[in-house]
Amino acid sequence: MNEKRVTYREALREALREALAGDDRVFLMGEDVGRYGGCFAVSLGLLEEFGPERVRDTPMSESAFVGAGIGAALAGMRPVVEIMTVNFSLLALDQILNNAATLLHMSGGQFNVPVVIRMATGAGRQLAAQHSHSLEGWYAHIPGIRVVAPATVEDARGMLPTALADPDPVLMFEHVSLYSTEGELGGADRQVDIDRAAIRRPGRDATLIAYGGTLVAALAAAEELSGEGIEVEVIDLRTLRPVDDATVVGSVRRTHRAVIVDEGWRSGSLSAELSTRITEQAFYELDAGIERVCTAEVPIPYARHLEEAALPQPAAVVEAVRKAVG
């Protein structure tokens, strides 16, 4: 098995290529995915390789093309729908929430919706208040869909086949700051288990829970804390719905402290949900209050220094862990 260094973007492209090649029912559609190669260049070259039937540029109407994807899935296809960024997905929210998530139930179990909807999420690229949202926590609120957030190159490569194998809708959130990150890729066809969170770094002093883009900040913080003798266990949630309670709570039972890093706004966030689950299931294991590092509750600023100040940075994570560990 050859280990090779690839970018997150290349890993996603490789997964799409494999899916398109391996299953005639799979096709990719979205704005600029064909001739332009995708607004984050994920699908670059796929149009040339698989042709316009399999890699389809769509009009600028998220509601229409997400709806079309759901219809195709109902009709037996395995569509991969790309939405440029999560803010545009709001235009398709009705399709996702009222159709994709509900039809299995509304049809009395007759119609499942095996669609995969990919979109970029998160801030950090100076795209200002309308293009920097982290709304995956909102989607994780919705029963009937699965929400995944690949944070590593291996997961970017391995989550798509698992998502396509799921008979129900899967939303895949790709953090914009990750596309150019590099990592080692193991086996070519390694599907990943998206039911389980992953322990990215073992530790005994505190559990640091992150996902997607925040995993980078969490690991950087863990490295710095290690220099002070504080060993932090870093958990990558991977799947935001359903949350893998067993891994999270199991870790907290060992470390007795939890710090959550969430790029969403604090109020009503995924971090709030995790914090509640931990107190519900492991209250008597907690030796300190649960700490959260979230994005400042402001529209994301354009200016670089203000944007950085608004987002969960490693220094804030380090501070929160120190507070928890005391």
Partner 1 sequence: MPSLGADMDAGTISEWLVKPGDTVSRGDVIAVVDTDKAAVEVESFDSGVVDELLVGPGERVPVGTVLATISTAAEQASEYPPPTPTGPPAPQQPAPPESPPPSPEPAAPPRRPPEPPPAARTVPVASPLVRKRAAEAGIDLASVHGTGPGGVVTREDVERLVSPRATGRVRASPYARRIAGELGVDLSRVTGTGSGGAIRALDVHAVTERAGTVEAARAEEGGGTAPREATGEERGETRQEGLRRATADLMARSKREVPHYYLSTTIDLSRAMTWLRERNREVPVEERLVPAALLLKASALAVRRVPQLNGFWCGDHFEPAPAVHLGVAISLRGGGLMAPALRDADGLDVPELMKRLRDLVARVRAGRTRSSEMTDSTITVTNLGDQGVETVFGVIYPPQVALVGFGRVVERPWAVGGLLGVRPVVTATLSADHRATDGYTGARFLGTLDRLLQAPEVL
Active-site pick, 31, 62, 82, 263: 62
Active site residue 131: yes
Minimum distance from CB of 53 to partner 1 (Å)? Answer: 59
Q: Containing H/E element for 62? A: helix 62-74
Active-site pick, 82, 131, 233, 256: 131
Active site residue 62: yes
Minimum distance from CB of 289 to partner 1 (Å)? Answer: 8
Residue 94 and residue 146: Cα distance in Å, rounded? Answer: 16
Nearer to partner 1, 141 or 322 (CB): 322
**One symbol per residue from 18 to 47: x for binding partner 1 (CB under 8 A), - otherwise; what is it?**
------------------------------
Nearer to partner 1, 279 or 313 (CB): 279
Minimum distance from CB of 299 to partner 1 (Å)? Answer: 32
Residues 6+ apart with CB under 8 A from 284: none
Nearer to partner 1, 23 or 319 (CB): 319
Minimum distance from CB of 232 to partner 1 (Å)? Answer: 17
Closest by CA position to 160, among listed 123, 215, 116: 116
Minimum distance from CB of 315 to partner 1 (Å)? Answer: 20
Q: Which two tokens stand for residue 5?
A: 């260094």
Closest by CA position to 179, among listed 311, 42, 86: 42
Residue 60 and residue 219: Cα distance in Å, rounded? Answer: 38
Classify burial at 257, counting beta carbons within 10 Å of its beta carbon; exposed 0-12, middle 13-18, buried 19 or more: buried
Residues 6+ apart with CB under 8 A from 223: none
**Residue in the block written with tokens 């540029």:** 57
C-alpha distances (whole Å) from 149 to each of 80, 146, 247 are 16, 10, 16
Q: What share of the chain is helix, strand, coil (3-state, %, to 5)?
A: 40, 20, 40
Q: Could you give the count of Cα atoms lying within 13 Å of 106 in the half-sphere of its Cβ?
A: 9
Nearer to partner 1, 91 or 288 (CB): 288
Q: How many residues make contact with partner 1 (CB under 8 A)?
A: 9
**One symbol per residue from 255 to 294: x for binding partner 1 (CB under 8 A), - otherwise; what is it?**
-x--------------------------xxxxxx------
**One symbol per residue from 195 to 234: x for binding partner 1 (CB under 8 A), - otherwise; what is it?**
----------------------------------------
Nearer to partner 1, 128 or 286 (CB): 286
Q: Which two tokens stand for residue 156?
A: 């970017």
Nearer to partner 1, 108 or 283 (CB): 283
Residue 181 and residue 12: Cα distance in Å, rounded? Answer: 12
CA quadruple 42, 24, 149, 190: dihedral sign: negative
Minimum distance from CB of 288 to partner 1 (Å)? Answer: 6
- Pairing status of strand 116-121 against strand 232-236: unpaired
So which residues are the catalytic ones?
Answer: 62, 131
Residues of the shown chain interacting with partner 1 in the complex, contacts defined by CB under 8 A? 256, 283-288, 323, 326
